[in-house]
Amino acid sequence: MCSMWWKESVVYQIYPRSFKDSNGDGIGDIRGIISKLDYLKELGVDVVWLSPVYQSPNDDNGYDISDYEKIMPEFGTMADWEELLEEMHQRGIKLVMDLVVNHTSDEHPFFVESLKSKDNPYRDYYIWRPGEEKEPPTDWEASFGGSTWDFDQQTEEHYLHMFSPKQPDLNWENPALRQEIYSMMKFWLDKGVDGFRMDVINMISKKEFLAPYEDFEQGVQVNKAFEHNGARVHTFLQEMNREVFSHYDTMTVGECPKVSPDEALLYTASERKELNMVFQFEHMSLDKIKGKKKWDLKPLELHDLKENLSKWQYKLADQGWNSLYWNNHDQPRIVSRFGNDTDYREQSAKMLATLLHMMKGTPYIYQGEEIGMTNVNFETIHQYQDIETINMYKERVLEGDYGQNGVMTSIHAKSRDNARTPMQWDHSKHAGFTDGSPWLDVNPNYKDINVAQSLDDPNSIFHYYKQLIQLRKEYDVIVHGTYDLILKDHPSLFVYTRTLGKQQLLVLNNFYGEECDFTLPQSISYESKELLISNYCGNQNEDIENIHLQPYESRVYLLKM
Strand order in the sheet with 128-130: 128-130, 157-160, 149-152
Active-site residue identified among 255, 330, 417, 553 = 255
Give the dihedral of Cα atoms 140, 144, 145, 149; nearest 10 deg: -50
Could you tell me how many residues make up the chain? 561
Phi-psi category of residue 55: left, alpha or beta, with phi > 0 → left and psi -120 to 50 → alpha = beta
Residue 511 phi/psi, 5° resolution?
-80, -10
Cβ(6)–Cβ(47) under 8 Å? Answer: yes
The whole-angstrom distance between residue 140's C-alpha and the CA centroid of its chain comes to 25
- Determine the residue type at 228: H
Q: What is the DSSP letter of 202?
A: G
Coil/strand/helix, residue 548: strand
| Crossing angle (nearest 10°) for helices 461-474 and 345-357 | 20
Query: Would you tell me how many other CB atoms lie within 10 Å of the CB of residue 379?
Result: 8
Q: What is the DSSP letter of 218?
A: H
Active-site residue identified among 29, 74, 194, 199 = 199
Tell me how far apart the terminal alpha carbons of the chain are, to the nearest angstrom. 20
346: Cβ–Cβ under 8 A, 6 or more apart, which residues? 372, 460, 461, 535
Cβ(31)–Cβ(80) under 8 Å? Answer: yes
Residue 303 phi/psi, 5° resolution?
-60, -40
Catalytic residue at 318? no
The helix (H) or strand (E) run that includes residue 454 is helix 451-456
Catalytic residue at 456? no
| Crossing angle (nearest 10°) for helices 232-243 and 175-191 | 40
The helix (H) or strand (E) run that includes residue 516 is strand 516-519
Q: For 401-510, list the strands marked E by DSSP.
A: 482-486, 493-500, 503-510
Q: What is the DSSP letter of 13?
A: E
Phi-psi category of residue 26: left, alpha or beta, with phi > 0 → left and psi -120 to 50 → alpha = left
Coil/strand/helix, residue 364: strand
Measured CA to CA, the distance from residue 369 to residue 462 in angstroms comes to 9
Would you say the C-alpha torsion 125, 131, 136, 137 has a positive or negative sign? negative
Query: Would you tell me how many other CB atoms lie within 10 Å of the CB of residue 68?
Result: 21
Measured CA to CA, the distance from residue 279 to residue 226 in angstroms comes to 20
Measured CA to CA, the distance from residue 460 to residue 467 in angstroms comes to 11
Instruction: Tell me whether strands 482-486 and 528-534 are parallel, antiparallel or unpaired.
Output: unpaired
Cβ(449)–Cβ(442) under 8 Å? Answer: no
Would you say the C-alpha torsion 337, 340, 342, 344 has a positive or negative sign? negative
Nearest to 350 by CA among 552, 485, 518: 552
Residues acting as catalytic residues: 199, 255
